[in-house]
Amino acid sequence: MKSKWSIKRLSEVAEIQMGQSPKGSSYNISGEGIPLINGPVEFGETPFSRTKRTKFTTEPTKMCRAGDLILCVRGSTTGRMNIAGYDSCIGRGVASIRSEKYQDWINFFIHVNRETIYRLGSGATFPNVSGSMLAKLEIPIPPESEQKRIVAIMDEAFEGIDRAIANTEKNLANSRELFESYLNAIFTQKNERGEIFKLADICEKKRVITYGVIKLGEHIDDGVPCLRTSNVRWLNIDVNGIKRISPSLSVDYKRTILKGGEVLVNIRGTLGGVAVTTPEMAGWNISREVALVPIDTKRVYPAYLAYWIGTKTSQKWLSGVQKGAAYTGINLEDLRTLPVVVPDLKEQERLINSIEKVHSFSQRLETIYRRKITALNELKQSILQKAFTGELTADTTNQTAKAAQEVNAA
C-alpha cells in the first residue's frame, strides 16, 4: 500500500444500516406502495446496475436513498451487491451502505471483497452477516484526489469490459435461442406419429416420480453428491458447486438414489431445468427441489423425454401448473400428468440423433462464450485488486481495452 494511504474501519467512513422486514406488510402489491428491496432477487452479477422494483410494501421501516450501496447479507448470495435505483424500504436480507465522501470508492471496495464478506457470515447452512461484522471491515483510504483519479480509471476500464461482456452474452443467448427454435420445430413436425401418454404412464412400474432429500444438512467433503436446482440446468447437469451430504442421510432417501439414466426435472425455485443423469452419477442423490422421473427405457429413451420436456410447449405447460407467488413450484401430481407424445423407439432414435448434432454444436459455442465472459470478469477483478494496492496507473485503461478486445475477438 502506498504512503499517505490510511486504513479505516467501514463504520468510520460510511453509515451502515441493516434492513428489517416490515410487519404485516404485503410483498406483492403490483405497482402500489413503497418499493421494497428484500433479498437477492434484485441483485445482478454486474456491479452498479440499478436495482429494479420487484416488490412493494405498505409499511416502511428501514429506508435507503437512491445511490446507496445495497448489500445482500443473508443466505447463499451473501456478498452480492447493487446500487439502489430509488428511495426504498430495505428488508431483512440486505444492508445499505452510504457515504457522503467515499461512496464510489466504497462501492468498488465491497465488490472486490465479496468473497471476504461471504466468509464473515455465521450460520450452519448459509452465512448471516451482522452490522457489527460489516462495521469492522478494514478499507484502505487514499487521499481524496487519488481516489477520484483511480475511480475515473476504473470507470473507463469497466465501461469497455462491460461492453465486451454484453456483446458476448448476446452471442451466448443467440446460440441458445437458435437451438431452442430448432428443438421446437422438430417436435411440432408430424406429432401424429406417436401416441399421447401422461408422464406417469411411461415410467417404471416399481419406481414412481418423486422428490429427494428434504434437509441436506452441512456439506460433507467425502459425502454423497446431491444434485440441486443449481446443478440441474436446461438439458445439462452442472456439477460445479455440488453439495455432498452424509451417506446415512442419503440412505434415508434411497428412493431417489440414482442409478444413471433417470430424467431429472426442477420442481421448486428455479424452474425449467431438465436433464438426464449419466452412469457416473450412480449412487448420487437429489434434493427435494428436484423430481426424479424413472422412465421405462423399453418404451422411451431418456434423452427423447428430456428433449421433449425441454421444448417451449412443455415448458409452457409446466409454467401453467406452477403454484406459489414468492416461492414457485410444481406439484408432483401435476408433473405426473404432463402430456408426452411417444413414437416408436426407431423414430425416437432418429429424432435424438438429429437433435444431438445441433445441440453439440450449440454447446461448443456456449462453452466458447462462457470462457470469454469468465476471462473478462477476471480482467475486471485484476483491475480492482490493483486499485486497492495502489498499483493502478493511467496506462491500465489502454491495456485493459486492448485485452478486452483480444478476448472478445478470440
Report yes or no: 32 and 71 within 8 Å, Cβ to Cβ.
no
Q: 6-141 architecture in CATH?
A: Alpha-Beta Complex (3.90)
Residue 319: band (very low, low, confident or very high) from pLDDT cuts 50, 70, 90: confident
pLDDT at 189: 67
Report yes or no: 140 and 7 within 8 Å, Cβ to Cβ.
yes
Q: How far apart (Å, rounded) are the C-alpha atoms in residues 145 and 344?
A: 73
Q: How far apart (Å, rounded) are the C-alpha atoms in residues 196 and 312?
A: 17
Q: What is the mean pLDDT of residues 196-203?
A: 95
Residue 83 has pLDDT above 80, yes or no: yes
Cα–Cα distance list, 53 to 66, 74, 102, 214 (Å): 12, 20, 26, 32
Instruction: Please report the DSSP string for 217-247 in residue order.
Output: -S--TTSEEEE-TTTEEBTEE--TT-EEE-H
Cα–Cα distance list, 236 to 39, 117, 227, 232 (Å): 28, 31, 12, 7
Which residues of the chain does CATH 3.90.220.20 include?
6-141, 195-342
Strands (E) located in 1-116: 6-9, 15-18, 34-37, 56-57, 63-64, 69-72, 81-83, 88-90, 94-98
Question: What mean pLDDT value characterizes the chain?
Answer: 86
pLDDT at 96: 95
Q: How far apart (Å, rounded) are the C-alpha atoms in residues 328 and 321?
A: 10
pLDDT at 127: 78
Residue 102's φ and ψ, nearest 5 degrees, are -120, 20
Report yes or no: 85 and 66 within 8 Å, Cβ to Cβ.
yes
pLDDT at 241: 85
Q: How far apart (Å, rounded) are the C-alpha atoms in residues 237 and 242?
A: 10
Residue 4: band (very low, low, confident or very high) from pLDDT cuts 50, 70, 90: confident
Residue 297 has pLDDT above 80, yes or no: yes
Residue 291: band (very low, low, confident or very high) from pLDDT cuts 50, 70, 90: very high
pLDDT at 119: 85
Please identify which residue in the block is written with the cell numbers 445482478: 44
Cα–Cα distance list, 295 to 155, 204, 208, 311 (Å): 53, 6, 9, 18
Residue 39 has pLDDT above 80, yes or no: no
Report the length, in residues, of the chain: 410
Three-point CA angle 160, 114, 151, nearest 5° = 40
Give the model confidence (pLDDT) of 355-372 as tens digits.
999 999 999 999 999 999
Residue 405 has pLDDT above 80, yes or no: no
Give the model confidence (pLDDT) of 214-258 as tens digits.
999 989 999 999 999 999 999 999 998 899 999 999 999 999 999
Q: How far apart (Å, rounded) are the C-alpha atoms in residues 243 and 221?
A: 9
Q: How far apart (Å, rounded) are the C-alpha atoms in residues 264 and 281?
A: 12
Residue 325 has pLDDT above 70, yes or no: no
Give the model confidence (pLDDT) of 147-196 as tens digits.
888 888 888 888 888 888 889 999 999 998 999 999 999 887 655 568 99
For 195-342, CATH gives: 3.90.220.20
Report yes or no: 321 and 267 within 8 Å, Cβ to Cβ.
no
pLDDT at 327: 55
Q: What percent of the chain has pLDDT over 90?
A: 52
